[in-house]
Amino acid sequence: KAALRSSLDQLKSETLSSVDWAGTEYEWTLDVNNTLHNVFKLNYFRPQQLSAINSTLSGQHTIVVMPTGAGKSLCYQLPALVKPGITIVISPLVSLMEDQVRSLKIRNIPAMLMTSTSPKEETQAALNVLKDKDTSIKLLYVTPERLAKSKRFMSNLQKCHSDGRLQRIAIDEVHCCSQWGHDFRPDYKFLGILSNMFPKVPILGLTATATSHVLNDVQKILNIPACLVIKSTFNRPNLFYKILEKPTSQEECLNILEKLLKYRYKDETGIIYTNSIKDSEELASGLRKRGLKVGCYNANMDAKDRSKVHLKWHDKHYQTIVATVAFGMGIDKPDVRFVIHHTISKTMENYYQESGRAGRDGLRAECVTLYRMQDIFKVSAMVFSSVGDLGHLYGMVKYCITGNICRRKLIAEHFNEDWGSDDCNKMCDVCSETNLNTKEINLESYCRTLSSIIDNADQQDTKLTAQKLLDAWFLKGPVNLRHNGKSPAISRTLGEDIIAFLLVENYLIEDFHFTAYSTISYIKKGPNIEFAQDSDFSLKMPIRKYTTFELESRAPSCTLTNANIKNVTQTSNNKSSSSKMKENNKTKI
Ligand code: ADP
Ligand code: MG
Ligand code: ZN
């Protein structure tokens, strides 16, 4: 029975996604257009907004996946006004809800909000709205905590439903349901009961997280297997992607950042992301000493200080914020011109979200990542807890060490999209390089040498970090760990790339050990290295060329606008899920 149901759901999803939902012959079309123009004062729908609106107005469970800033709110705000009854909007951040209610009120749209900290009278008023058949309120915003913890709210909501006035339930940032997403909120799990409690009430989930395993999980948790997933393209044509070689010392990193801020990004605002509280503090104070206006933002600060820093940055008192990923949701500054990663992100998904805070206004912005091998192990020690996590980190590493494939193409792969070079338009360091190096290097003998170094260390009961392995390979460090051959005739940087490449390709693997203070990553032989002993073994790696990037001259400005965003796709989301990703929510960052 379950199998039958599941294949029926699959069939239904496929049928749903084959419908053209952007049609203009629905009974509500005229109303929808009038509301767009007269109430929201907008001229056109953005890609996929109309499909989402038609789908939810026809009573269909829908999940809308669009990049941040694409206009997801309209997909529930507008339908709320064209049908009778109330729309419940569930949203994780009080500040976001307050912003929305404020801007709705400016447009004379009756909306209200109810949070765990709302004053008593407001809570009472919100509860009454659910029972009051004559209320003018069209949208009621509520936090998932409030929903999960208030029996009164739920019973009034049931009353609202039995009176036939519960029009729809919108769940913003719906990826928060899933532990595999990057912002898991335990209270979102509770939302799974809604589809059973209120059958026939359409659920509309909205998120910027596009990975299929998260979306599948969300559908499972919300118990809406046959739902339409409307997904717009994730390509951000106005973002320029660049990898920079990261120097070994913090001082040299500061030199690079100083130049970027003083020249390339002079008078522009941006974000520098790093992966530890310590780094965020060091970099911020280092940059201040060099006369730059920077704020620091991390989870060690209390909420008040954090919002102070955020505001000062928002109002351009700070040129840049140096932050850990604690600086995330709720950033709504459209003119962020650069996002620099001082350390690689934990996953491509995280990188996409973090770098995606640049250029929301559609104008050119730059996403620069400082990469060096050593940082892999800083991050892996934080995320090693399950195999899947490392896989996601290696996706990020692959993005950094690949020198002959468009960066956009590598991002697209991650979202199961396929973007060609037209979609990049020379807006990445690889595509914009006129003199691209397409040389490859043969790794067969290097594989065998590295393998023998590891075996030799093993016999001496010694574990090798990547750094030690590299030393031994280049005939540096303790003599007893070195190999018998010659030092490889390549640069040490290329040696680092080779080790990273072999990790990503499973010729080497990381092996974690715990001390009282830290987690250390050692390098072991991976499952693929046994092939290196075969006589016909062949393994090639494209050599990355460090492309040019002027630190001391202004970034080119460009007038790409939202109108350039194209290639819209609509998919049903029943594809197989990729490996698990479990965030370590306990780590303070
Ligand atoms: P998201 O939730 O997807 O991050 P929002 O709903 O907050 O995005 O919308 C981002 C901005 O885009 C808002 O300022 C909104 O007014 C604007 N916007 C939304 N839809 C349209 C449209 N069709 N035309 C012009 N601007 C729009
Ligand atoms: Mg939003
Ligand atoms: Zn490219």
pLDDT, mean of residues 32-46: 94
Q: Which atom of ligand 1 is nearest to the CA of 49?
A: 23
CA distance readout (Å), 149 to 96, 187, 191, 318, 418: 21, 9, 12, 40, 43
Q: Which atom of ligand 1 is nearest to the CA of 36?
A: 23
* Closest C-alpha to 472, from 461, 488, 460: 488
Ligand nearest to the CA of 47: 1
- Report ipTM for this prediction: 0.98
Ligand 1 pocket check for 52: Cβ under 6 Å = no
Residue nearest to atom 25 of ligand 1 (CA): 42
- Which tokens go with 534? 């075969």
Environment of ion ligand 3 (residues, CB < 5 A)? 406, 408, 424, 428, 431
- Of 30-34, 384-388, 551-555, the poorest mean pLDDT is in 384-388
pLDDT tens digits for 462-519? 999 999 999 999 999 999 999 999 999 999 999 999 999 999 999 999 999 988 888 8
- Of 157-161, 275-279, 330-334, the poorest mean pLDDT is in 330-334
What integer pLDDT is reported at residue 85 of this predicted model? 96
* Closest C-alpha to 325, from 583, 66, 64: 583
pLDDT tens digits for 178-198? 877 667 888 888 899 999 999
**Rounded Cα gap, residues 351 and 356, in angstroms:** 8
- Residue 579 clears pLDDT 50, i.e. is over it: no
- Of 75-84, 136-145, 236-245, 379-388, the poorest mean pLDDT is in 379-388
pLDDT, mean of residues 379-401: 84
**Rounded Cα gap, residues 215 and 174, in angstroms:** 9
The residue to mutate among 46, 68, 95, having the most atoms of ligand 1 within 8 angstroms of its beta carbon, is 46
Cα-to-centroid distance, 70 and ligand 1 (Å): 6
Ligand 1 pocket check for 73: Cβ under 6 Å = yes
What integer pLDDT is reported at residue 578 of this predicted model? 32
User: How high is the mean pLDDT of the chain?
Assistant: 88
Q: Which atom of ligand 1 is nearest to the CA of 73?
A: 6
92, with CB counted inside 10 A (0-12, 13-18, 19+), is buried
Ligand 1 pocket check for 46: Cβ under 6 Å = yes
Ligand 1 pocket check for 72: Cβ under 6 Å = yes
Higher local confidence (pLDDT), 412 or 257: 257
Handedness of CA 114, 115, 117, 120 (dihedral sign): positive
- Residue 572 clears pLDDT 60, i.e. is over it: no
pLDDT tens digits for 266-301? 999 999 999 999 999 999 999 999 999 999 999 999
Ligand nearest to the CA of 423: 3
Cα-to-centroid distance, 75 and ligand 1 (Å): 10
pLDDT tens digits for 223-232? 998 899 998 8
Cα-to-centroid distance, 142 and ligand 2 (Å): 15
**Rounded Cα gap, residues 242 and 228, in angstroms:** 35
pLDDT tens digits for 57-68? 999 999 999 988
Element (H, E) at 459: helix 444-459
- Which tokens go with 159? 């009353």
Cα-to-centroid distance, 74 and ligand 2 (Å): 9
Ligand nearest to the CA of 333: 1
Cα-to-centroid distance, 433 and ligand 3 (Å): 9
Ligand 1 pocket check for 71: Cβ under 6 Å = yes
Residue nearest to atom 16 of ligand 1 (CA): 71
Q: Which atom of ligand 1 is nearest to the CA of 208?
A: 3
Cα-to-centroid distance, 206 and ligand 3 (Å): 29
- Residue 559 clears pLDDT 60, i.e. is over it: no
pLDDT bucket at 571, cuts 50 / 70 / 90:
very low
- Residue 390 clears pLDDT 70, i.e. is over it: yes
- Residue 80 clears pLDDT 60, i.e. is over it: yes
Report the 10 Å Cβ neighbour count for 326: 15
Ligand nearest to the CA of 432: 3
Ligand 1 pocket check for 68: Cβ under 6 Å = yes
What integer pLDDT is reported at residue 188 of this predicted model? 87
What integer pLDDT is reported at residue 569 of this predicted model? 36
Cα-to-centroid distance, 337 and ligand 1 (Å): 19
Which pTM value belongs to this model? 0.78
- Residue 587 clears pLDDT 60, i.e. is over it: no
pLDDT, mean of residues 127-144: 95
- Which tokens go with 111? 């909306």
- Distance from the first to the final alpha carbon of the chain: 46
What integer pLDDT is reported at residue 181 of this predicted model? 67
SS3 assignment, position 490: coil
Higher local confidence (pLDDT), 235 or 576: 235
* Closest C-alpha to 171, from 83, 181, 416: 181
- Residue 51 clears pLDDT 70, i.e. is over it: yes
Q: Which residues of 286-314 are buried (b: 16+ CB within 10 A; e: fewer)?
A: bbeeeebebbbbbbbbeeeebeebbeebe
